[in-house]
Copies of this chain bind each other. A is one copy, B any other.
């Protein structure tokens, strides 16, 4: 498993980690200081902002965890992969795709997440 994949999986662990201190430690390990994360309804910046945002999301989805559901496809320091927000019963509350850009030290500089599949072309 590549360093990138390990970093991604530990970031997803952070997103679902209910203990604030452990969550903050995982965020510091996996994200650069001024890293940004943007999902369609929410965004955050920096270790404190990310730690707080992950806690807010957990309040909406108690007991849920994030799990990578695809391989990691990476080039030029940018990776994509699919994930699910898994319920404690084994179901899937949300599925999505993350685009992660890594910084020079291997930690995440930015994440942009998209929900569900890419929409069909209608025009």
Contacts and interface: CB of A to CB of B under 8 A. Distances in A.
Interface of A: 1, 5, 38-40, 43, 68-73, 75-76, 78, 80-82, 97, 99, 112, 114, 118-123
Given A80-B99, A81-B118, 6 more contacts: A1-B123, A5-B123, A39-B75, A43-B76, A73-B118, A76-B112
Contact residues of A: prevailing secondary structure: strand
B119 A71 contact: yes
Count of chain copies: 2
B123 A70 contact: no
12 contacts: A5-B123, A38-B75, A38-B78, A71-B118, A71-B119, A71-B120, A71-B121, A76-B112, A78-B112, A80-B97, A80-B99, A80-B118
